[in-house]
Structure 1
Amino acid sequence: MMLTPENTRIGFIGTGVMGKSMAGHLLDSGYPVIVYNRTKEKAEELLEKGAAWAESPKEIAEKANVIFTIVGYPQDVERVYLGEEGIVTNGRPDTYVIDMTTSTPTLAEKIYHVAKEKGIHAVDAPVSGGDVGAKEARLSIMVGGDKEVYETLEPLFKLLGKNIVYQGKAGAGQHTKMCNQIAIASNMIGVCEAIVYAEKAGLDPEKVLTSITSGAAGSWSLSNLAPRMIKGNFEPGFFIKHFIKDMTIALEEAEAMGMETPGLDLAKRMYDSLAQNGEENSGTQALYKYWQQ
């Protein structure tokens, strides 16, 4: 089945920092979109652009045949999918449900199996790229689930991202996102240390970035988040509280596999310290403030 604006009504649950831009791209591409968010104010821009409003996930399930979700925590995912008002609980056969939240591989597998029993097609498709990637439709999307379902949804994914990879069975997208978060966790320590070192050495940190971002030290965090640190901009492209959630999942999964993760463990402890000092709603680049505590 080819999903077109004529035969598709998209539901989108979670219109926060990233979800708002993602839902907007689908709307701009001509698809009718109905949105739900716990705080309606966060959906106002989309409603002004022509999106419809739903009062609950259940209403989304009743009206949409393709449903995207990007919410906060695994418990939110479970409630939105499998709760009394959930989209799988109340969904119709042949509906496609796509969870783009960073959640647990175990929950992704559970949702897949419960959905399959009802004839609903579920995939886990977490994303990377932050607020910038969401705004510019340049997200990396990591997909787990049935390959034929992925192939049906791929044209929609291409409206949201540039690097879209089918990773394997249900849960594989979430496992891949854990790899992503593990790589970022230690890298963020290095980025912050480099900027603090430059400042303490009396260098111009912006000039330092010019030299090192295009060399062997280059990374997305160095190019996109280090300039925010230098400017004192700690607004969230991705919340510290959500990164702590992701690192907790990764640590639990690694422990279950008998794997040591010393870099991840250190990053988690540093971010926990920041959160305890009131920075949980800052962006991940606020790790820079660790050296000011």
Structure 2
Amino acid sequence: MGIVYAAPAVAPEPRAAAEGRFMSWTGVNGDVFVLSADDSNPAMQRGVQGLHMPDIQVFESSTPLIHGSELDGYTILPRRVFWPLMFQADTAAQWRAEHAAFFDSFHPTVPGTWTVGEGDDARTLGLVGTFDGGHTFDLDPFYTGWANIGVELRATRPLWAGKEIRREYEAELEPDFIPTDPEDPTYHPTSVLGYTSARIGNPGNEAAYVAWEIDGPHPPGLIVGVESFVITIPFEIPEGSTFTLDTDPTSGYAALDGVDMSTQLGFQIFAPVPAGGDVRLVISTEGTGRVLAKLTPLYWRAY
């Protein structure tokens, strides 16, 4: 057996134009902490976990009649996250206040929000802390003014959420026409996206569900849905009222002006928009109110 000797790989220097990735934490109490700036407190250090691919469990089956196995499907397990954080301050009082404010923003069962990226490029992940009481301080941070603390977190919903996609539709105006009046030969196109032209796309890695926000007036019998999976709203949505319907089975709700209407809808089967898909939305009504369709794409990674 031959042995090949090679020099160890050396990490390249960062490009001159490179920029660090923006990161922030929004706690359950609404407090926001920027983690990625040089003067952040706390500041993110090397060794972050949770940004890349999730833990995917693949299901497979086998039979003595066929060599190998069949891949039957997969599920994505809760995501483990680790933050290596540096806490530092100029005074003991400042260190105590800022350290306390950060850890007071966590809750064992209510998620806060980790944001990576900015603007349209930002993605978010809901996290809870998984504290076991085992952290030790090698040095007294009230004396040194700093401490490295590794924070273990968990995302029970392991997919990163991208920017919400919003598509607004209204009742069709009069159709396009060219007047026959020689005094006014102007072509008059309609400018509003009508109910019959409703579509929505999903750029994410996983299927995602549509949430509806519907303004009255609409009489009973309004129909909305994705492709052939539709639902009939059996009650009136008066003018000035808003009906909201979230079809995601993990967080679904139906409310008219904030009043729960789930029992009036009964049992329903909603269809998601497939990953990478662009589907027809069904909107059928005798009403004229605005219909807003919203979808939050879900991604495997933070970028």
TM-score bracket, normalised by the shorter chain, equals under 0.3
Using CA pairs under 8 Å that are at least 6 residues apart, name the structure with larger relative contact order, 1 or 2: 2
- The structure with more helix, counted as a fraction of residues: 1
Structure with larger Rg? 2
- The structure with more strand, counted as a fraction of residues: 2
> Normalising by structure 2, what TM-score?
0.25
